[in-house]
């Protein structure tokens, strides 16, 4: 793994003085230092459902993509009659708007009726994923192993162990 360290520019040093160091504890000036770049904004997040959506033909759809929600995605459902009758239905409407792909189903095919027919564990998974990507901007979580107490990160978007 390559470590990138951002440094502040210091006073000029003479050409040929390749091993000059800025101070006794700092890195050598000839060390390659890459400027740190902010991560580009991710607007879509791939996921794998724990169980999967089973369509009318019995085909299971597990892999999908969710995009970041917009203000419109959260406001429009408030005018939906189904949400007015049952405020809990807002989750279904919002998820149908932000899931752009689910298995072979494209953006136009992922509707509220598809979300309604998910298994409860898959719905819960998508609710947590929605919350994470729209509040924190990523699908990673810091965890600690209960056995050895080592800290590491995991990707909550699903997938099998060892896969990226």
SS (H, E, C) 59-92: CEEEEEEEECCCHHHHHHHHHCHHHHHCHHHHHH
What integer pLDDT is reported at residue 143 of this predicted model?
A: 75
Q: Taking CA 130 as the corner, what is the angle to CA 127 and CA 133, rounded to the nearest 5 degrees?
A: 145
Query: Number of helices and strands (H, E) in the chain?
Result: 5, 5
CB-side neighbour CA atoms (13 Å) of 70:
4
What burial class does residue 58 get, using C-beta atoms within 10 Å of its C-beta: 0-12 exposed, 13-18 middle, 19+ buried? Answer: exposed
Mean pLDDT by 10 residues, the chain (164 residues): 41 44 48 67 90 96 96 94 95 96 90 96 96 77 80 63 42
Q: How far is residue 85 from each of residues 74, 94, 143, measured CA to CA in Å? A: 17, 16, 39
Residues 6 or more apart whose CB falls under 8 angstroms from that of 17 comprise none
pLDDT tens, position by position, 14-25: 444 444 444 445
What integer pLDDT is reported at residue 58 of this predicted model?
A: 95
What integer pLDDT is reported at residue 138 of this predicted model?
A: 59
Domain edges within the chain? 44-155
96's enclosing H/E stretch is helix 90-98
Q: What is the pTM of this model?
A: 0.62
What integer pLDDT is reported at residue 92 of this predicted model?
A: 97
């Amino acid at each position: 793994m390559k470590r990138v360290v951002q440094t502040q520019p210091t006073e000029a040093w003479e050409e040929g003085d390749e091993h000059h160091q800025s101070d006794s504890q700092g890195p050598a000036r000839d060390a390659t230092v890459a400027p740190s770049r902010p991560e580009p904004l991710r607007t879509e997040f791939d996921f794998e459902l724990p169980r999967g959506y089973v369509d009318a033909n019995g085909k299971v759809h597990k892999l999908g993509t969710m995009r970041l929600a917009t203000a419109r995605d959260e406001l429009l459902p408030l005018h939906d009659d189904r949400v007015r009758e049952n405020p809990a239905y807002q989750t279904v409407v919002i998820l149908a708007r932000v899931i752009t792909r689910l298995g072979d189903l494209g953006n136009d095919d992922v509707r509220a009726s598809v979300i309604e027919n998910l298994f409860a564990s898959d719905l819960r998974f998508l609710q947590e994923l929605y919350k994470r990507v729209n509040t924190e901007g990523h699908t990673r979580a810091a965890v600690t192993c209960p056995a050895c107490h080592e800290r590491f990160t995991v990707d909550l978007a699903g997938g099998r162990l060892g896969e990226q």
